[in-house]
Amino acid sequence: MLRQVRAMFLVLLASLASTTFVAAQCPAISGPCRCAPSIYEPVAIICENAGSLSNALQAIQPARDISIDSLTILDTAIPNIPANAFVGFTILRLVLNRNTLQSIDDQAFNGPLIDSLVELDLNDNNLGQIPQTGLTRLRNLRKLYLNRNRINTLASNAFAGYESKDLLIKLSLAGNRLTDQSLTDTAVFRPLRLLQELSLETNALTAIPSAALVNQRGTLTNLNLGLNNINEVPVGALDFPNLTSLSLEFNGITVIPPQAFQGVPNLQYLYLTGNKFPSWAPEMFRYITQLRTLGIGETPISVIPNNAFMVSVRDFFRIVFSSSFPNEEPQPLTGKALSLVGWIILAIIMTILLISICLLAMVRYGMSHRRKKQKDQEIEDDARMMSSAASVYGVGPVSVIERPYSTVPPVSLDLPAAHTLDDRASNYFY
């Protein structure tokens, strides 16, 4: 117990020391900015409602000579990022959200930032296209977020001028105004040779943009096409051998042929929530045997037939299902594997129950037998004591009260009368 208390104390002390060390790394900055350090980002700074970019940068001047893990500027009027805005700052992750940003000067990121910036988040601004100035000069950019802007077209050379085009692994364009026409050119994403994660969620697509992603066939692992107007999944449209996660949520899909997933054999997470197909063929999972999670909520599916999962998948397969049309007559899933597991579990439960009953009976019998022996011993001891008392004091017959629980017959205490030496005949000769 003492060791456990000591270990807990050491863990608490280490955690406190770690927190103190993390907090100590953040410099003393002034409002409207504040430090928000964490274990993963010891130097994290947040500025809100700063009025202007210059005000925010002036407030964080004490951090100019250190490496900033994360700088977030929110709800500040920054319609344009001027040249040399971040000179002297070394920042790994820069977040500029809800700042009405419309343009970026080509020299905006001059200084250490050109090499240090790894992640840039420009969500919720007013950009009308993929920025062609400023961002193009960033040399080590890995992640770029342009969600909820006003981008309605993607030029064929949109990323051709980016110095980090060979390093970018994540691109998010959710919540823009992209249409099928925006993604017909196969050259759009061609420069992004290592792209792994792409989000085109909440746009105006009516088809899977297979042609635009032909160059990412071997690299793409996560594709989000949710909240569009895609109404079918043609065979061959999904040809990404290394894809592990696919979202087609809240589209207008009415039917999915089983062969549609032939090109994604390593798929582990499939999200189909909010579509219009009333059922699916049992063979739909034939080609995606690595599937771990299936989301099919908010669909017209009213009954899950007993052969819906005829093609077995991994043991830890999980279904996320919610529907406003529950089964009137639920049909439980069946199958040899499920039945065998069920019988094994039932047998284990019954065995445990039987053993518990036997142990309880044995314990009760032992306790009852022990109490009986104790009572019998008490009766024998009482009888022995009374017999001894009668022989010493010469008392008359002593009656013994029979106890109803005793099985030992009463002991007779009728002893011969005691004699003195005077009562005996004189047989002595002198």
Could you tell me the maximum CA-CA distance found in the chain, to the nearest angstrom?
A: 154
Measured CA to CA, the distance from residue 33 to residue 123 in angstroms comes to 20
Name the amino acid, one letter, at 403.
R
For tokens 């010493």, name the residue: 392
Please tell me the pTM assigned to this model: 0.71
Break the chain into its structural domains and give their ranges.
231-328+335-347
Residue 3 tokens read as 């060791």
Measured CA to CA, the distance from residue 360 to residue 418 in angstroms comes to 56
Measured CA to CA, the distance from residue 41 to residue 36 in angstroms comes to 9
Measured CA to CA, the distance from residue 395 to residue 392 in angstroms comes to 8
pLDDT reported for residue 24: 52
pLDDT reported for residue 280: 79
pLDDT reported for residue 269: 96
Which residues in the chain show pLDDT less than 70? 1-24, 310-317, 319-341, 375-376, 378-430
**Burial call 385-417: b when 16+ CB within 10 Å, e when fewer:** eeeeebeeeeeeeeebeeeeebeeeeeebeeee
Cα-Cα-Cα-Cα dihedral of 127, 132, 136, 142, to 10°? 40
**pLDDT 10s digits, 375-401:** 667 666 666 655 554 554 454 444 444
CATH of 231-328+335-347, one of 2.40.160.10, 3.30.70.260, 3.80.10.10, 3.30.390.30: 3.80.10.10
Residue 60 and residue 47 in contact, taking contact as beta carbons nearer than 8 Å: yes
Measured CA to CA, the distance from residue 202 to residue 179 in angstroms comes to 11
From residue 143, alpha-carbon distances to 127, 173, 242 in Å are 17, 12, 20
Which of these, 268, 263, 219, 259, lies nearest to 239 by C-alpha position?
A: 263
Measured CA to CA, the distance from residue 78 to residue 91 in angstroms comes to 18
Residue 139 and residue 116 in contact, taking contact as beta carbons nearer than 8 Å: no
Cα 293 versus chain centre, distance = 12
pLDDT reported for residue 317: 65
Residue 188 and residue 163 in contact, taking contact as beta carbons nearer than 8 Å: no
Q: Where are the alpha helices (DSSP H) in 72-181?
A: 113-116
pLDDT reported for residue 311: 62
Please report the DSSP string for 328-351 in residue order.
Answer: SS------HHHHHHHHHHHHHHHH
pLDDT reported for residue 374: 72
For tokens 């940003």, name the residue: 101
Which segments of 155-258 are extended strands (E)? 170-172, 197-199, 222-224, 245-247
Q: Look at residue 85 and give its three-state secondary structure.
A: coil
pLDDT reported for residue 358: 85
